[in-house]
Amino acid sequence: MTKPSPVDPHAFPDEQAAESALRPGSLAEFRGQPRVADQLGLVLDASKHRGTVPDHVLLSGPPGLGKTTLAMIIASEMGAPIRISSGPAIQHAGDLAAILSGLVEGEVFFLDEIHRMSRPAEELLYLAMEDFRVDVIVGKGPGATAIPLEIPPFTLVGATTRAGLLPGPLRDRFGFTAQLDFYETPAIEHILVRSAGVLGIQLRPEAAAEIARRSRGTPRIANRLLRRVRDYAQVKADGRVTEPIARAALELYEVDELGLDRLDRGVLEAVCKRFGGGPVGLSTLAISVGEEAETVEEVAEPFLVRQGFLMRTQRGRVATEAGWRHLGLTPPTSGAPGPDLFS
Ligand SMILES: Nc1ncnc2c1ncn2[C@@H]1O[C@H](COP(=O)(O)OP(=O)(O)OP(=O)(O)O)[C@@H](O)[C@H]1O
């Protein structure tokens, strides 16, 4: 196992406290995703106006874009408590029934990774979402009876990185659904400036821009890079984060101008230099960079593809012209070699 990369979008186990400190507490402070924030604001205002609990909310999108943050904001905007759990933690319907029956009126129930819940729990959730009721099964076999149990009205906030995996009947029970997208660089700059304020870091605007460009449109990565750059500034300079300090720190952490890390560059370099631009199969590629095929496929490739540096074709991975150029290499032909050149 290689050590975690600073541009991994997943949260590290020791990062929770640092992340909590940087969560914006209100919709007004939540930067980026303007459409989602506006629509959600309307849903919350309307429910306050009517004096009812807000509709159930489904948030989908890649890790680190603010799903948990938005769930907490919904609770705080409604002045309601929040209960947090996750799909993998709920293996039996009884686990879910216990949580639901313990909710207080108006509580926000945040269910992360909702697509990983067990089937029986999912069915129990349908009823709870629709009728604020759960059926508790007493006894076993033919003598088993279902005793309906009222639960107080609550708002379910479901989060998923894989909206496509949710069964239709579950998706249909959410009154409001939002897809979070990668952030534009200026929004990430705003987030960095706010985080620097919270952490008491003197961050020059050019340095914020530099870090933002390398953050892959992901607030979690931006905040993490900011903390690393701050460490560097404190140890190697006077603590102020200037552009040269940010550049030097990010170079040390092997995060390049566009946010590629060592693994991303290694994969791209292998495709270009060792395999003539491709196509090369995933397992061969993984062996050549000394990584698991899964890591190459799930960690490095999505960003390389998003950047337009790599293509996944039926016959293997192919570097694009932009990919060659990002490494400072000249593509072998006017464009990247197409799969047909290698037949
Ligand atoms: N719009 C935003 N403004 C400011 N900070 C943000 C924003 N979105 C996310 N963050 C920060 O990024 C970090 C990660 O956000 P969060 O935990 O909400 O992501 P997530 O989508 O729930 O990730 P996961 O899918 O891994 O659970 C937090 O520290 C949070 O404060």
Q: Flag residues of the chain having pLDDT under 50.
A: 1, 335-336, 338-343
C-alpha span between 79 and 99 (Å, rounded): 20
**Which pLDDT score, from 0 to 100, does residue 339 have?**
47
**Does the annotation list 317 as a binding residue?**
yes
The pTM of the full predicted model, rounded to 2 decimals, is: 0.91
Residue nearest to atom 8 of ligand 1 (CA): 66
**Residue 113 CB less than 6 A away from ligand 1:** no
Q: What is the pLDDT of residues 157-183, one digit of tens each?
A: 999 998 888 889 899 999 999 999 999
C-alpha span between 56 and 41 (Å, rounded): 14
**Which pLDDT score, from 0 to 100, does residue 139 have?**
82
> How many whole angstroms from 263 Cα to the centroid of ligand 1?
24
Confirm if 177 and 40 have CB atoms less than 8 A apart: no
Q: What is the pLDDT of residues 100-158, one digit of tens each?
A: 999 999 999 999 999 999 988 998 999 999 999 998 878 888 888 888 899 999 999 99
- Asked whether this complex has an ipTM greater than 0.95, the answer is yes
**Which pLDDT score, from 0 to 100, does residue 173 have?**
94
**Which pLDDT score, from 0 to 100, does residue 343 have?**
36
**Which pLDDT score, from 0 to 100, does residue 28 have?**
92
Rg (CA), the chain: 23
